[in-house]
Amino acid sequence: MDAVLNIYKQHGETPLQATARYARAHPEVKGARMTYAGRLDPMAEGVLVVLVGEKNKERDVYTGLDKEYEFDFVLGVETDTFDILGLVTRSSDTVPENADLDTALKRYEGTISQAYPPYSSKVVNGTPLFELARKGLLGSIELPRHEVTAHSIELVSTRSVSRDALRTMIIDSVAKVVGDFRQDAIIRAWEDFFSHTQRAEFTIYSARLSCGSGFYVRQLVADVGRDIGTGALTTRIVRTRVGEYHLKDSLRGEA
């Protein structure tokens, strides 16, 4: 079987787990080579392009397609992964209410040099960055950078959530992740953060991104948070398009 599949990668699973889930439900692909073109973090969801059979020979074409994302983020807290599946490394109870986030985001439009997030699969001297990060060895290297392009970045909306609501969302999300991602330590760190923060409410900002291949939403949010001076992290990432493959057409559930 040769095919290009548009699979909905669920929140909390890895691309490999999403691919295996599809294969279990579809015996017609048994024995066929299946790889995904463009990974998604465990906390991200949405369009995952999976190549079957001879289509794997065109993997470079599919990984190079333009992409679109919708993402949420909060100010005043940062983790070592730049999303909620990480240990809190920075926090502030004082967050400017008039931060010009739209302008801050727009600074990253166009072609820029973007660092790879410390917790990513980028290989340096034969070792993925996330392994160096876990071993505390990032200080011995300079984080690599790459050229990426953001066609457009737009702040879409804001909404307020209570401290308890955000805590529940984060803890429940982290608990859904399967595999070794330091979940127990991360949940303890979040519990500690929420027990000490003085903030009764948090503002969640929603934005939309159209970009070329290789762009990291987590890194964008972290960079913007540092520009503003408060720190920031993503709470939700949805990939809504890869080339001609759209979210509305994604195969969901066991399909």
Number of Cα atoms under 13 Å in the Cβ half of residue 49: 23
- Catalytic residue, chosen from 2, 41, 227, 249, is 41
Q: What are phi and psi of 194, to 5 degrees?
A: -70, -25
Query: Residue 21 in 3-state DSSP?
Result: helix
Cβ–Cβ under 8 Å, residues 148 and 214: yes
Catalytic site includes residue 172: no
Coil vs helix vs strand at 55: helix
Amino acid at residue number 2: D
User: Angle at CA 205, nearest 5°, toward 198 and 44?
Assistant: 105
What is the rounded distance in angstroms from the CA atom of residue 128 to the CA atom of residue 147? 19
Residues marked active site are found at 41
